[in-house]
Amino acid sequence: MNRISLFRTRIVVEDKVYLLAKDVRKALGCKSIEQLQGEYPEIVKHIKDLPALVLESDFNTILTSDIDVMKKLKHIEITRVETLRNNTEAIKSIYPLKFIVAGKMFESEARMAGYQSVNEYMEEIDYVKEINNEKEKLISKRDLIESISLSRVKLSELIDADVLGKNDLQIQQYIHINNGTPYIESFIVGRGIFFSVYDDGYAFDKLRIENNDLIIPTFDYDADNPNKNYGYDSDLRDYREYSCIENILYLIKHKDVEDAGVDLMSCNAPGISFYISQAEVIKLLNPNMYRDIVLIDGDIDFAYSKTVTKDALIE
């Protein structure tokens, strides 16, 4: 099967997503941007100080109307753009409906807050609260992406093997390769426990199991109780008895996996916490998934590895 080139550059202008025309030209098999314009009139957009662009939606229109191109590229491009202004404006637009449904509640809250006007209360208090909530959500997603993108610290610096043993827990890992570079994903596993190890904000060396619940202290010293209880999977599946890939497949099929933005899917449930790229989810759910999985006998130290290809590991 020929390798499908992914679009690595997107440009957002006034909440519209554009692809580079040179990338679209290549994906559609055109020899030049001029040929692209000739075959698809008006598709190429010119915006001041930017290279030639193609709206992502226009590219998708071509794919959905050309069976041969769709067979070649296999999927359309969908990029979600979130901004605080758009999110809060959407919330503001439903305030009339909120007032119809919960007008009495707003009147009561306005009186308790010392406001004579419900509209004034909603504008100055409730709407401001909604803005702050949306801001925190976006900051949380940003921090998550930054955390995952940063180089992982060595597992031995985070995890105490003796602590794991005392709590009947183990470590599972799998390696995925992106642009020739290997990344190791690690998970703490046990009965009802499948928890990703990707952030040094947790005191993993002090974790414990209490009444099946996973307790992990954090380094959030401002928190009232740094010993956060992550619970446990009520199915009581013993994740130690299965491979890492089998466990991830099980969770994708049996738990709520949500869109975490920027090509990430997340699963956060009692005893469960992990993130995985949408591309990997699609591969895992593909009946031909095993052609993308390489089984390696023993451990390989990737600390000094530069590139992994289908033919060799290059030091």
Compute φ and ψ for 43, nearest 5 degrees.
-75, -30
Reduced 3-state DSSP string for the chain: CCCCCCCCCEEEECCEEEEEHHHHHHHCCCCCHHHHHHHCCCCEECCCCCCCEEEHHHHHHHHHHCHHHHHHHCCCCCCCCCCHHHHHHHHHHCHHHHHHHHHHHHHHHHHHCCCCCHHHHHHHHHHHHHHHHHHHHHHHHHHHHHHHHCCCCCHHHHCCHHHHHHCCCEEEEEEEEECCEEEEEEEEEEECEEEEECCCCECHHHCEEECCEEEEEECCCCCCCCEEECCCCCCCCEHHHCCHHHHHHHHHHHCCCEEEECCEEEEEECCEEEEEEHHHHHHHHCCCHHHHCCCCCCCCCCCCCCEECCCCEEC
Q: Do residues 168 and 228 both lie within one domain?
A: yes
> What band does 199 get if pLDDT is binned at 50, 70 and 90?
low
- Residue 5 in domain: no
- Residue 237 in domain: yes
Alpha-carbon distance values, 120 to 94, 101, 127, 265 (Å)? 16, 18, 10, 39
- Residue 105 in domain: yes
- Residue 1 in domain: no
> What band does 238 get if pLDDT is binned at 50, 70 and 90?
very high
- Residue 79 in domain: no
The answer for residues whose C-beta is within 8 angstroms of residue 155's C-beta and 6 or more apart is 171, 186, 197
Q: Do residues 121 and 237 both lie within one domain?
A: no
- Residue 273 in domain: yes
Q: Do residues 139 and 174 both lie within one domain?
A: no
Contact status, residue 205 vs residue 159, Cβ threshold 8 Å? yes
Show the CA angle centred on residue 296, arms to residues 293 and 298, nearest 5°: 150
Q: Do residues 89 and 219 both lie within one domain?
A: no
Q: Do residues 88 and 136 both lie within one domain?
A: yes
Predicted local confidence at residue 155, as pLDDT: 65
Domain of residue 41: give its range: 10-73
Predicted local confidence at residue 268, as pLDDT: 86
Q: Do residues 138 and 224 both lie within one domain?
A: no
Percentage, residues of the chain above pLDDT 70: 75
Q: Name the domain boundary from 118, 149, 180.
A: 149
> What band does 4 get if pLDDT is binned at 50, 70 and 90?
very low
Q: Name the domain boundary from 149, 174, 191.
A: 149
Predicted local confidence at residue 99, as pLDDT: 72
- Residue 4 in domain: no
Q: Do residues 65 and 125 both lie within one domain?
A: no
- 51-67: buried (b, 16+ CB within 10 Å) or exposed (e) per residue? ebbbbbebbeebbeeee
Q: Do residues 199 and 240 both lie within one domain?
A: yes
Predicted local confidence at residue 307, as pLDDT: 46
- Residue 247 in domain: yes
Q: Do residues 302 and 172 both lie within one domain?
A: yes
Q: Name the domain boundary from 102, 125, 149.
A: 149
Beta strands 193-197 and 272-277, pairing class: parallel
Predicted local confidence at residue 104, as pLDDT: 79
Tally of structural domains, the chain: 3
Average model confidence (pLDDT) across the chain = 76
Q: Do residues 140 and 241 both lie within one domain?
A: no
Q: Do residues 226 and 125 both lie within one domain?
A: no
Predicted local confidence at residue 314, as pLDDT: 43
Predicted local confidence at residue 180, as pLDDT: 58
Query: Has residue 105 got a pLDDT over 80?
Result: yes
Cα dihedral 307/281/61/83 (nearest 10): -90
pLDDT tens-digit series, residues 32-82: 999 988 888 888 999 988 999 999 888 888 888 777 777 777 677 777 777
Q: Do residues 222 and 254 both lie within one domain?
A: yes
pLDDT tens-digit series, residues 126-173: 878 888 888 887 777 666 555 555 444 566 667 778 888 888 888 888
